[in-house]
Structure 1
Amino acid sequence: MGTSNKARRVAGLIAIGFGALSLISGGTTLLGGLDMGRVVPVVLWFNTLAGMAYIAAGLALWRGRRWAFALSLTIFAATLLVFAIFGLHIAQGGAFEMRTVLAMTLRCAIWGMIACLAHQIRVTPPRG
């Protein structure tokens, strides 16, 4: 297995794991089983539903599908948009948790890197 195959598989596993954790924590919070403090509903709903897209992107990366780039880029752009909406909420004096700022920063960074990797896969598909 070449370096690019290893990288895409690691990225795929990270995306799948991240998606599963997002679905579990978000779903548990939405169902009232977990108190996350001052939740911003749009962020909670987005992160929970995006968990499914994370898993789909992870599987696409794992399998070396060319469309993994489009999905990863869409996830990245949508995450940036929700982060901006969250920032507007904060600027207007809305209640929030600092861990949400950190989590959204992490999500943006991870999906930016995954989208870049997926672009490389799209440009040079795996051999074999």
Structure 2
Amino acid sequence: MRHRRLLAVLAVLAIAFGALTVLSGGRVLFGGTEARAAAGQVVDFVLWFNFLAGFAYVAVGLELWRRRRWAVRGAALLALLTAIIAALFGLHVLSGGAYEMRTVGALALRLSFWSALALVARRAAQSTTG
């Protein structure tokens, strides 16, 4: 029972994180020149990845809520894809590309969140089925 509650909490966190990601990314992408200017030195591929990934965050969260087995793999995939984007972002920075420090923080937060969620969800899911 404890593990089912944990999965439910993780699901709610993933859904909320996804909704906030879609809202913030959508505001910059579709909010006009003022929103774009307020965002600073946006790295387009990171912004687009985060925006689109937000929908996947919600989907994985919903499926965690339903305790679907693939949701744990989906969380791990989101962590992996975020790590790849972070590495590409690092290459962008090392090559002299413009960026905002908050992008560094946001990528670190996303990678940490999805890595931890995937690990905890995997253990919780194993406990509910095993």
> Which category of TM-score, normalised to the shorter sequence, fits these structures?
over 0.9
What's the counterpart of residue 31 of structure 1? 30
Aligned 8 A contact 1:67 1:122 in 2: no
Note the alpha carbon deviations across 1:84-117, whole angstroms, 9 max, x for none.
0001000011111001101100100000011112
What's the counterpart of residue 66 of structure 1? 69
What's the counterpart of residue 108 of structure 1? 111
Q: Please, which of 39, 42, 46 is the counterpart of residue 45 of structure 2?
A: 42
- 1:126, CA displacement in angstroms? 5.8
What's the counterpart of residue 16 of structure 1? 15
Q: 2-side partners of 1:122 and 1:15: how far apart?
A: 16
Which residue identity lines up with residue 45 of structure 2 in the other structure? V
Tell me the matched-pair count: 126
Q: CA RMSD of the aligned region, Å?
A: 1.5
Question: What TM-score comes out, normalization by structure 2 length?
Answer: 0.91
Q: 2-side partners of 1:61 and 1:10: how far apart?
A: 9
Does structure 1 residue 5 correspond to structure 2 residue 8?
Answer: no
Q: 2-side partners of 1:45 and 1:53: how far apart?
A: 13
- 1:61, CA displacement in angstroms? 1.1
Note the alpha carbon deviations across 1:8-27, whole angstroms, 9 max, x for none.
11111111011001111111
- Where structure 2 has 5 or more consecutive residues not aligned to the other structure, the ranges are none
Q: 1-side partners of 2:11 and 2:101: how far apart?
A: 28
The residue matched to 1:124 in structure 2 has which SS?
Answer: helix
Which residue identity lines up with residue 61 of structure 1 in the other structure? L
Q: Please, which of 54, 58, 75 is the counterpart of residue 55 of structure 1?
A: 58
Cα 1:68–1:121 change in 2 (3 A) is: farther
Runs of 4 or more consecutive aligned structure 1 residues displaced over 6 Å after TM superposition: none
Deviates more, 1:116-125 or 1:20-29: 116-125
Identical positions, percent: 44
Note the alpha carbon deviations across 1:30-84, whole angstroms, 9 max, x for none.
1134231000000000000000100011111111111111111110000000000
Query: Higher helix fraction: Structure 1 or Structure 2?
Result: 2
Which residue identity lines up with residue 6 of structure 1 in the other structure? R
Q: Please, which of 84, 87, 96 is the counterpart of residue 84 of structure 1?
A: 87
